[in-house]
Amino acid sequence: MGTARLELELTNAAGGDLSDFVRIELFSTSTSNHYQNNVQIRRTVAVGGIEVGASSVYKVMLTPSNYRLVQFFVMLGDGQTESQTVSFPVDPARVTGLEAPAFGALRAEAQTMLAQSEIPRFLAPDGSFRQGSDLYAVLDATPRLKACFLNIVAKSAAAPLREGLSCLNHYSGMIRMEQDRLFIRTHAALREEVQNFQYPAIRSRTALRLWIGTATCSSLSSAAAPPATTMLQMSTSTTHRASSTSSRFCGTVSAGQPILTIFTTS
């Protein structure tokens, strides 16, 4: 028997310092060894003296106060130092507010989505659709919808397609918003791109889930596009069911791509 060392770098979803109180637990998968410590961590922490054989596997469980629990497995050998960078999604129960960028600071594609949106839920006093910066400002009254919009924009920009563009490049205006999903008009090329090809950045549990089909006016809303128009339902949810909890728009996408950090924590 020997010992190993585990060095951890803990960040929020944007890559900033975690700066939180964290319970660190290690469970051996082959013995009864169990290590636990509670420590205030800014960004880095090291756990030494971990008992190992020639090659041992430990489950690492990290439980911050203001972020979601993260767990993973590591293989440790005698005399080895293993380094891991861990990104934490915020705990929605601890969310106290929304820090969103100004309309002018949004990606051009996101501004286009807002400018071309026709959402019956958001009408101006004269009965016209709120669009562009006006629609973006109105979303301040429903921060979970704005959070959903910003997260899906960030995720979509990080989902590359075979043609060299991202999913975001194929979006037009929104026709409906929910707290964990959007209904978006899209270019027909996106359907061809994702219909018969597996993209890890899209199919991952922590990335985007796409529902693409031909919409009719009655299937989505009275303001939906005419039949034969391609619609895209984008969701941050990890299941095919709508969720009533804000946790559905927290996390990181595949390949280490962060979701836009848009929350403050208490």
Q: What is the pLDDT of residues 109-135, one digit of tens each?
A: 999 999 999 999 999 999 999 999 999
- The torsion angles phi and psi of 126, rounded to 5 degrees, stand at -85, 5
Instruction: Give me the pLDDT at residue 197, please.
Output: 56
Query: Percent of the chain having pLDDT more than 90?
Result: 47
Q: Within 10 Å of residue 75's Cβ, how many Cβ atoms?
A: 13
Q: What is the mean pLDDT of residues 184-189?
A: 83
| pTM across the whole model | 0.59
**Strands 2-12, 81-88: pairing kind:** parallel
Query: Percent of the chain having pLDDT more than 70?
Result: 73
Residue ranges in 31-142 assigned as alpha helix (H) = 108-115, 132-138
Question: Taking the domains of the chain in order of start, what are their residue ranges?
Answer: 2-88, 93-265
Instruction: Give me the pLDDT at residue 253, please.
Output: 27
Instruction: Give me the pLDDT at residue 161, please.
Output: 83
Q: What is the mean pLDDT of residues 175-195?
A: 82
36-85 per-position pLDDT tens digit: 999 999 999 999 999 998 889 999 999 999 999 999 999 999 999 999 99
Instruction: Give me the pLDDT at residue 198, please.
Output: 54
Distance CA(77)–CA(85), nearest Å, equals 19
24-45 per-position pLDDT tens digit: 999 999 999 999 999 999 999 9
Distance CA(88)–CA(35), nearest Å, equals 21
Q: Which residue from 168, 170, 182 is spatially nearest to 121, judged by alpha carbons?
A: 182
Q: Which residue from 80, 76, 65 is spatially nearest to 24, judged by alpha carbons?
A: 65
Inform me whether the pLDDT recorded for 234 exceeds 60. no
Tell me how long the chain is: 266
Inform me whether the pLDDT recorded for 256 exceeds 70. no
Distance CA(231)–CA(191), nearest Å, equals 9
Q: Which has more confidence, 144 or 133?
A: 133
Inform me whether the pLDDT recorded for 202 exceeds 50. no
Grade residue 92 by pLDDT with cuts at 50, 70 and 90.
confident
Question: Which CATH architecture is the domain 2-88 placed in?
Answer: Sandwich (2.60)
